[in-house]
Structure 1
Amino acid sequence: MKFEIEAMHCGGCARGVTKAIQSVDPAASVNVDLDKRHVTVDSSADPAAITAKLDAAGFPPRQLD
Structure 2
Amino acid sequence: MYLFTVPNMTCGGCAKSVVKALQSVDADATIETNPPKREVRIQTSADEEALREILSEAGYPAEDKAAA
TM range (shorter): over 0.9
Corresponding residue number in structure 1 for 2:57: 56
Corresponding pairs, count: 65
Q: Which residue of 2 aligns with 1:35?
A: 36
- 1:2 maps to a residue whose letter is L
Q: Tell me, which stretches of 5 or more residues in structure 1 are unaligned? A: none
CA distance in 2, matches of 1:59, 1:4: 10
Distance in 2 of aligned mates of 1:8 and 1:34: 6
Moved over 4 A (4+): none
Structure 2: gaps (5+ residues): none
Q: Distance in 2 between matches of 1:62 and 1:51?
A: 9
Paired residue secondary structure (2:28):
coil
Distance 1:63 1:18 in 2: 18
State the Cα RMSD in Å. Answer: 0.6
Shift of the alpha carbon at 1:62?
1.2
CA apart distance, 1:35: 1.1
